[in-house]
C-alpha cells in the first residue's frame, strides 16, 4: 500500500513496472489491475475522470476484492 497526497501523481517509480498514461497516471482495467499482473492501483493516482474521496473509496474496495480473488487463484484456496 502506497499513500501519497497531492495533485500530481507520484508514480514515476513504477514506470518500468507498469503502463503509465499522460502526466504519470497509472492505467488500470475495471478491476483496478495494472498492466502488471497482480498489481492494483486505485484513487487519484489512476487515470480517471472523477477525482473524489467517494470514488477512491469505491475503487479501493474493488481493488481489494480483485486482489483477493487473484491470490486465491494463485493458491487454489478460497478465503471466506
| C-alpha distances in Å from residue 78, one per residue of 3, 32, 74 | 28, 21, 10
Q: What are the residues whose beta carbons fall under 8 Å from the beta carbon of 38, sequence distance 6 or more?
A: 67, 70
At residue 2, the pLDDT reads 59
pTM of the model: 0.81
Of 37, 41, 71, nearest to 59 (Cα)?
Answer: 41
Domains in the chain (CATH in brackets) are: 12-75 (3.50.50.60)
30-67 pLDDT per residue, tens: 999 999 999 999 998 998 888 888 889 999 999 999 99
Question: Which residues are bridge partners to 26 per DSSP?
Answer: 20, 46
For 4-13, 38-47, 68-77, which range has the lowest pLDDT when averaged over its residues?
4-13
Determine the Cα–Cα distance for residues 37 and 51; give it in Å rounded to an integer: 25
Amino acid at each position: 500500500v502506497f499513500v501519497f497526497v497531492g495533485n500530481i501523481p507520484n508514480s514515476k517509480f513504477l514506470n518500468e513496472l507498469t503502463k503509465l498514461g499522460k502526466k504519470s497516471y497509472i492505467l488500470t482495467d475495471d478491476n483496478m489491475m495494472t498492466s502488471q499482473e497482480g498489481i492494483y492501483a486505485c484513487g487519484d493516482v489512476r487515470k480517471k475522470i472523477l477525482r473524489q474521496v467517494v470514488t477512491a473509496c469505491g475503487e479501493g474496495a474493488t481493488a481489494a476484492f480483485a486482489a483477493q480473488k487473484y491470490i486465491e487463484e494463485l493458491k487454489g484456496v478460497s478465503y471466506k
